[in-house]
Structure formats: C-alpha cells, structure tokens
Structure 1
C-alpha cells in the first residue's frame, strides 16, 4: 500500500499538509504557535494505535480523530501548559538542592 494514508503522512513536510491530508479544519494562529507540539502529541497518541490489517479508510479516520484530539489539546491550552517536549518538562522539574560542601576544620589555615 505505497500510496496509503500512512505513506502520505510520512512524506508530508508541514503541519498544514497533515491537516489537509486528513481533512481537519484548523485555525492558522493555533498551528503557527504550536505546530511541532501538535504533531508530537499526534505521534504520542498514534503510538498507542495498532493499524495491522486495517483498511486505509479506517486508518485515515483513526488518524483524523487523533489529529483532531491533538489539535484540541492546544486550542484549549498552550504548549507550555502541555509540555510535550523534554526541554519544557525539565523546565518545571524540581531542581535538586545543592548539598553544602563540608570543610574539615583541620584543613583551614
């Protein structure tokens, strides 16, 4: 199935192509701010899908639903709130408190 929806999505080079291929409406302002986050979240959701033996129209519909879900995440909140990338997760991770350096009194001059 070289021309199936998964092959088409695999060759897409922009978020707008994903939306067009799957027929999902979007607000360009949301996509301009969160395009990589939306696609990353879509990938996270798709990781839980099993398309083995599914017809291309079924795969396309499931992909459409996943993209709509990922897009909705970023319509309702911001990329900072969603934190799909490690750098954003690490930015709010509790920081380890530095342990004080012990200096023995006998080493002081």
Structure 2
C-alpha cells in the first residue's frame, strides 16, 4: 500500500469505489464472479444495511478495515446461501410479497351475452 493510500481511510476509498469488484479488492475478500454478476447491487445494499449498525468513531483504521471486511463477507454469504429474490433487500422486492394481491374475479364466458 502506498503512502497516499495509507493516508486515505478505507471508508473514503470504499466511497470512491466504482464497482462491487472494487469493494472486494479493497477489502481482500474472495468471491465467485458468477454470484457477484447476479447479485452485485444486492450485496452492496446489504453491506450498507449492516454498516448502518456500525459505529466507527474513534476506531483504529485497522479495526475499521477488519469490520468492513467482515460485513462484506457477511453480505456476500447471504447471497451465496440464497438468491436476491429470497433476500429481498430492495423495496420493490419487499413490496412484491408484502400484500398478497386478490385474484381477479372470474367471469365465466357463459355469463357474457
């Protein structure tokens, strides 16, 4: 790691990352490209949800990096174990199962004149 990279914290570098692969590379997390190709946005969204529960104030950079790595590994594992549809991290997927839709009223053809 160069001096310039060391001076910039991991959270700043993650904020500037332009792809899911960048997140995995920055944090040194191994991944299967097939899973990331299908669930990249879902993994990053889930990582963000997990990070929202973290408090980094006053933490050493090595601890912040280790916690970010653990959170990415956890988010990735969620999608190794099941699909984005099963995990439902995005509102549109949550809404799809939130309220079961009533089936359309059946009108037999014989009742039409």
In which range does the TM-score fall when normalised by the shorter chain? 0.7 to 0.9
Deviating beyond 6 angstroms after TM superposition, the runs of 4 or more aligned structure 1 residues are none
Q: In structure 2, what is the Cα distance between the partners aligned to 1:72 and 1:96? A: 32
Q: Quote the offset at 1:93 in angstroms.
A: 1.3
Offset from partner CA, 1:39-83 (integer Å, 9 cap, x none): 000000000000000011110000000000000000000000000
Structure 2 gap segments, 5+ residues each: 1-5, 103-113
Q: In structure 2, what is the Cα distance between the partners aligned to 1:96 and 1:75? A: 30
Residue in 2 that maps onto 1:70: 75
Q: In structure 1, what is the Cα distance between the partners aligned to 2:20 and 2:96? A: 25
The RMSD of aligned alpha carbons is 1.7
Q: Quote the offset at 1:95 in angstroms.
A: 3.7
Q: In structure 2, what is the Cα distance between the partners aligned to 1:53 and 1:90? A: 38
Q: How does 1:85-104 map to 2 (within 5 A)?
A: 85-95=90-100
- TM-score calculated relative to the size of structure 2: 0.82
Q: In structure 2, what is the Cα distance between the partners aligned to 1:53 and 1:75? A: 33
Q: Over alpha carbons, which structure has the higher Rg?
A: 1
- TM-score calculated relative to the size of structure 1: 0.85
Residue in 1 that maps onto 2:88: 83
Structure 1 gap segments, 5+ residues each: 98-109
